[in-house]
Chains A and B, each alone.
Chain A
Amino acid sequence: MVEDDEDIGRLLKFILEREGYRVTLYPDGRAATTRLETAEIPALVVLDVMLPYVNGHQLLGMIRASDAWKPVPVLMLTAKSGESDVVRALDGGASDYLTKPFQPAELKARVRRLVPRP
């Protein structure tokens, strides 16, 4: 998961861990790019659009350009007013999107669509 806002990141992590998922949180796009090269492939990426250093669209492009990461589903977090971000994310290969402010139940439902509960 890549989310720069401390409160949103903590809440997302809490909700998903409560559902039984193992979550690693990265606070910015640059930190997340190191994961692309070194770490195990996750079952799902949750990606904010507005991130410091490397934004969500750029990260999505890197994921879809990587042979190893290409099949990983990506759920994008977009602003409610960001229709252009939604279009760009879906055109860029995002699997789904969630607009902020989000309701925890909607987050869980969208994640379940992409990754069954463990």
Chain B
Amino acid sequence: MRAMPTPPAIVVKVDPEIADMVPRFLANRSRDVERLREALGRADADAVRAIGHTLNGVGGGYGFPAISELGARIEEDGGAGRIDAARRAVDELADYLARVQVETGEAS
């Protein structure tokens, strides 16, 4: 049996001046994933939409446009009551957060 290959890291370059703020920002996004999974578990589409809205607003400013894009999908799916689609986007967000690797330098 062969071991599953490790998914490649996603490298994001952030502004060195905000680098100290990024670990806390990413930890809060992991907490958002937990809150989203709780909300999905109780089929609370409005809570899913609201957390997606926050993710959408916060990602780009820190240099993580992918978080904003996934947040926008979660917000839209939550707003439309598409729980399964929102769950897929939340899984993508969890995967992204597990793989993201931060480097300082010119923002990517």
Name A's B-contacting residues (CB within 8 A): 5-8, 10-12, 14, 18, 50, 79-81, 100-104, 107
Residues of B within 8 A of A100 (CB): 56-58, 60-61
Cβ contacts A to B, 9 pairs, < 8 Å:
A6-B28, A7-B24, A7-B25, A11-B58, A11-B61, A80-B56, A101-B56, A103-B61, A104-B61
**Size range of the chain B interface in the assembly:** 20 to 34
Contacts between the two chains (Cβ within 8 Å), count: 51
Residues of A within 8 A of B75 (CB): 81
Give the docked Cα–Cα distance between A101 and B62 (Å): 9
Choice from B15, B21, B54, B68 contacting A5 with Cβ under 8 Å = B54
Does A7 lie within 8 Å of B68, measured CB to CB? no
Does B21 lie within 8 Å of A8, measured CB to CB? no
Does A79 lie within 8 Å of B61, measured CB to CB? no
10 shortest interchain CB distances as A-B pairs: A101-B60, A100-B57, A101-B68, A7-B58, A11-B61, A7-B25, A8-B58, A102-B61, A101-B59, A7-B28
Minimal Cβ-Cβ distance residue in B for A107: B61
Does A101 lie within 8 Å of B21, measured CB to CB? no
Given contacts A5-B57, A8-B58, contact A104 B15 (CB under 8 A): yes
Does A101 lie within 8 Å of B57, measured CB to CB? yes
Whether, in the assembled complex, B17 has its beta carbon less than 8 Å from a beta carbon of chain A, the answer is yes
Minimal Cβ-Cβ distance residue in A for B20: A14
Give the docked Cα–Cα distance between A6 and B58 (Å): 10
Choice from B15, B18, B28, B56 contacting A79 with Cβ under 8 Å = B56
Residues of B within 8 A of A107 (CB): 61
Does B54 lie within 8 Å of A102, measured CB to CB? no
Min C-beta distance of B29 to chain A, whole Å: 9
Give the docked Cα–Cα distance between A101 and B72 (Å): 10
